[in-house]
């Protein structure tokens, strides 16, 4: 019983220290990134308008690495995009304000750019490199998301960060139309750089 109480006390102190180290901000990404720069634009796209493309300079690509990224892309597509409405919802059924002033794009292009896809079969927790950079900009009618990392593991962390920045909402373009899902990214252009502060992390409770 005493050990359990001590473990809970240590956990509470750890959580308190972590929370105290986080700056007070409205920037919504967890865990809080090491550095980021933001703009002032908010841009929205219609549903089913995202594509993922894996580009790497690596010459010898481990099939396990591609498999990890392919499965991650499918998971995040499902978590980012809400299931289509089973039937149209008219504007008089749900009170949602008109948003004609939003800047709109037609497509979100996500480029995954890990530099090393040579070995993913074995995971070494002591040497795993999870650093990444996410750059989100608007290029004409498209939002381009570039996720750069040295490894597939950093790329996965970058996809998670990007997913947290996408906000889905029901919207009507004018009073006479049915409601549709739109997906918005704010504070563009946006650049986020992050990675673990320590090469290894863990905790034991007895």
* pLDDT 10s digits, 145-199: 999 999 899 999 999 999 999 988 777 656 666 677 788 899 999 999 999 877 6
Instruction: In whole angstroms, give the CA distance from residue 187 to residue 29.
Output: 13
**Residue whose structure tokens are 């010898």:** 60
Instruction: In whole angstroms, give the CA distance from residue 114 to residue 160.
Output: 15
Instruction: In whole angstroms, give the CA distance from residue 77 to residue 79.
Output: 6
Q: What's the average model confidence in pLDDT over 83-98?
A: 51
- % of the chain with per-residue pLDDT over 90: 29
Question: What secondary structure does DSSP assign to 159-205, as a single string?
Answer: HHHHHHH-EEEEE-SSTTSPPEEEEEEEEESEEEEE--SSS------
Per-residue confidence (pLDDT) for residue 175, from 0 to 100: 60
Residue 200, CA distances (Å) to 21, 52, 178 in order: 19, 30, 51
* pLDDT 10s digits, 35-80: 999 999 989 888 778 888 888 776 667 788 888 899 999 998 888 8
Domain 30-194 CATH superfamily: Chitobiase/beta-hexosaminidase domain 2-like (3.30.379.10)
Per-residue confidence (pLDDT) for residue 56, from 0 to 100: 75
pTM: 0.77
Cα-Cα end-to-end distance for the chain = 11
Per-residue pLDDT at 120 exceeds 60 = yes
């Amino acid at each position: 019983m005493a050990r359990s109480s001590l473990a809970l006390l240590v956990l509470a102190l750890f959580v308190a220290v972590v929370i105290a180290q986080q700056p007070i901000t409205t920037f919504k990404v967890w865990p809080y990134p090491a550095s980021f720069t933001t703009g002032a634009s908010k841009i929205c796209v219609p549903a089913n308008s995202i594509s993922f493309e894996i580009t790497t300079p690596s010459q010898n690509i481990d099939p396990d690495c591609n498999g990890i990224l392919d499965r991650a892309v499918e998971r995040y597509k499902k978590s980012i995009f809400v299931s289509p409405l089973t039937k149209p919802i008219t504007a008089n059924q749900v009170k949602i304000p008109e948003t004609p002033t939003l800047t709109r794009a037609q497509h979100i292009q996500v480029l995954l750019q890990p530099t090393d896809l040579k070995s993913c079969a074995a995971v070494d927790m002591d040497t795993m490199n999870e650093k990444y950079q996410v750059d989100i900009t608007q290029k004409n009618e498209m939002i381009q998301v570039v996720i750069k990392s040295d490894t597939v593991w950093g790329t996965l962390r970058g996809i998670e960060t990007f997913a947290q920045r996408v906000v889905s909402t029901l919207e009507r373009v004018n009073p006479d139309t049915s409601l549709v899902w739109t997906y918005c990214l704010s504070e563009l252009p946006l650049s986020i750089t992050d990675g673990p502060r320590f090469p290894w992390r863990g905790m034991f409770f007895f």
